[in-house]
Structure 1
């Protein structure tokens, strides 16, 4: 049986659904891991007799690990394949989470949390590369965008499960809470069993026969390499040569917009009660406000996931950065106004930044070729986390020194830097084949949007 349909145009099938669950599970675990430490921290500090230095180091240990894992994981994923690295993160999560049951010192816990963070850093490039290299083009945007939603779901689950285990576990409740990640990551490890290697990566390494077998395994005997729009293996293609060829500009765009959109989000999410208190909201308003802001982050990501194909990547990113930046600017201007107006503007920011949030996974996976796709995601992850750590650290200092109003002006300025860079460099990749989206030809007219008729023909 002969079939000339491109693999990017096949209907979304059972395999795609299972692969989406496998990769989304990684985002769920990431959100769970990064949130559970905040619940356990008040109990583990006295239990382990940890001083303030080690408390601070444990709090940022996972972020440091993500920074290291992003750099290393992206390179390893592009060098050794998607399938191998797909299991490294869950193995690290499971083993290090279980070892937290017996940890007896601050340095020991720091080391385990650092390794967990490295596993998370591995997870971002490999999970997203797997998705984008298998999914039909119509499903790429929404499915990659959905990873952000699973992150928040994991964070919410950590708060619920962690609190229940601490209350039920007595003096060792915090240990059970930290170790509970092992159950979640263990399920993820089992779920990923049987995942085939990416045919695009196999082709990029010259393993065409293996790629042919994977395609037939996933799509049926009627499909083969002829159905996969992927250029053949180049004679010699290094990361350095690709960056010098023009992908360096794309790397600058991805890391800049990603970092500029992450810094205010991490600062607001981590210090929402403190920021609201600085805006003169009482304890009740501050508590309700934090809940509303958290909920609006999720709603914003959900709406952006729905809009990413309808609006297009470029338009969604520019509008998200523009209007969320204006919300922060208004917060700085009206920082002395009524409580309801402040919460409304904060909620508006949380909702409007959703577009930039979901595109953090979409753009680097679509605009880089298979040879450096995971490297680009890993590099963007690492650089953005540097900004997140610095921004989070500076928020309380900034509130004390220059005041809440000027702090919010700074956050707006950072967002507008991302806006300017996106306006100048963001390409439109909606509805086009992955090999064309990752070619430099798309940069020729970055501001040009495809017509509705062209989009229908493409999809």
Structure 2
């Protein structure tokens, strides 16, 4: 499996798995445009704006770990569709939201479903993908996050002209892509690695033969150590150190980004890009985010995971720092710095899906991805909630400097702890150094912190 050629099955699985990140980017970004109409119509305070903007992130925090635990317990395939059905139902219900509390609850539920999809889809993709393509395909899921975000800003700008109910159509519009993804995912097989770990070897071998050909057998999975590891092992020994790094690096990567997306037009307005120009500017910056992820995907196997994450944090943090120091620079300079941030941060974005899936064994892979995603969303939700208050209290300059500081913290912890997993088979990357005979130095950085 680790050395198999890339097939049409792998490409389709990667495309279908990217549906969750697409919806995440869409849902989290469309609220930034919708808030232009929601705020006056529902008479929202700064605090209420922050809560509604952060509601989906809070939901992701709740849903990601639960979804990870469920997918490790009951399998990847079962939950692969159920979570998207929940998104469809709640997205439709948003159209009739009549008050801030109802809207907050619905977006909380949508966030829970989106969060659950992260560990489900990424674990399934990681466990099917050959080592040579694992990094680019897992990282490619993040590209779809930005495709979803860019789509949301274009759709939002169009629907703003639909009258006072434009925001309702914006929030309900996620129903269409979610329905398409549900239909495409139908018939996806269960992970043979998960089946083998549960003792269901006949089912695992049947799927292996169907995907990889009649020569494939359950022996192709024998290199992986099948140990009795439960979720508490994540927090012990070397896995505790790995989880600490993943949580810190992921949090530092998403806090500035999600804050920018939830209140992108408002931030750009504060930087003297007003009205429709702010929405279009946000869409253009999203394209730059997308470009940055594509560039990072092309370089992740050449540069290695460790080098990429460090450089991405350092130079993107510098771009935010310059925005904070020169908040009243000409609009061309502002857009250039935002574009630089968007392109350079692509390295940390793609590694959000690569690192967690590579550093933990099959038994707890879903739970580990879910836990890391949940912890990162705590910081992202707090950061998103504080954006309106920060803009009021600190101004745009102080807000951007705070975002830069978070990015530079990510750079520091990556210098200290980031491992290197390039060219490793999945079971090799997931094993602790002491189990493979490696020294901590050979592994890139200590497995325990």
Q: TM-score, length-normalised on structure 1?
A: 0.87
Which residue pairs with 2:206 in the alignment? 213
Q: How many pairs are equivalent?
A: 440
Which residue pairs with 2:77 in the alignment? 83
Q: Quick check: which has more Rg, 1 or 2? A: 1
Report matched runs for 1:347-426 at 5 Å.
347-426=339-418
Q: Within 2, Cα distance between the matches of 1:124 and 1:98?
A: 22
Q: What per-residue deviation string (whole Å, max 9, x for no partner) do you get for residues 163-213 of structure 1?
A: 545645x66554444333222211111111111110111122222222112
Contact between 1:55 and 1:106, CA under 8 Å: does it hold in 2? Answer: no
Distance 1:37 1:403, change over 3 A: closer
Larger deviation, residues 60-69 vs 99-108: 99-108
Name the SS for the 1:206 alignment partner.
coil
- Displacement of 1:347 in angstroms is 2.0
Q: Within 2, Cα distance between the matches of 1:417 and 1:34?
A: 24
Q: Within 1, Cα distance between the matches of 2:178 and 2:338?
A: 33
Q: Within 1, Cα distance between the matches of 2:422 and 2:384?
A: 33
- Displacement of 1:105 in angstroms is 4.5
Which residue pairs with 2:94 in the alignment? 100
Q: Within 1, Cα distance between the matches of 2:108 and 2:211?
A: 36
Q: Within 2, Cα distance between the matches of 1:337 and 1:177?
A: 33
Which residue pairs with 1:233 in the alignment? 226
Which residue pairs with 1:193 in the alignment? 186
Q: Higher relative contact order by CA 8 Å / sep ≥ 6: 1 or 2?
A: 2
Q: What per-residue deviation string (whole Å, max 9, x for no partner) do you get for residues 318-377 of structure 1?
A: 111121122233334444554433433332222111101111111001111111111121
Which residue pairs with 2:172 in the alignment? 179
Q: What per-residue deviation string (whole Å, max 9, x for no partner) do you get for residues 404-441 of structure 1?
A: 44443332222222112111211111111000011111
Q: Within 1, Cα distance between the matches of 2:126 and 2:80?
A: 14
Q: Within 2, Cα distance between the matches of 1:60 and 1:93?
A: 17
- Displacement of 1:220 in angstroms is 2.0
Which residue pairs with 1:137 in the alignment? 131
Which residue pairs with 1:444 in the alignment? 440
Which residue pairs with 1:258 in the alignment? 250
Contact between 2:291 and 2:343, CA under 8 Å: does it hold in 1? Answer: yes
Q: Within 2, Cα distance between the matches of 1:172 and 1:333?
A: 39
1:15 has 2:9 as partner? yes
RMSD between superposed Cα atoms in Å: 2.8
Q: Within 2, Cα distance between the matches of 1:194 and 1:398?
A: 47
- Displacement of 1:109 in angstroms is 3.2
1:223 has 2:216 as partner? yes
Distance 1:116 1:247, change over 3 A: same
In structure 2, the gaps of 5 or more residues are none
Which residue pairs with 2:323 in the alignment? 331
Name the SS for the 1:233 alignment partner.
coil
Larger deviation, residues 184-193 vs 34-43: 34-43
Contact between 1:8 and 1:228, CA under 8 Å: does it hold in 2? Answer: no
Q: Within 1, Cα distance between the matches of 2:271 and 2:160?
A: 32
Q: TM-score, length-normalised on structure 2?
A: 0.88
1:64 has 2:44 as partner? no
Which residue pairs with 2:31 in the alignment? 37
Q: Within 2, Cα distance between the matches of 1:40 and 1:398?
A: 20
Q: Within 2, Cα distance between the matches of 1:108 and 1:372?
A: 35
Distance 1:64 1:228, change over 3 A: same
Contact between 2:28 and 2:262, CA under 8 Å: does it hold in 1? Answer: no
1:148 has 2:142 as partner? yes
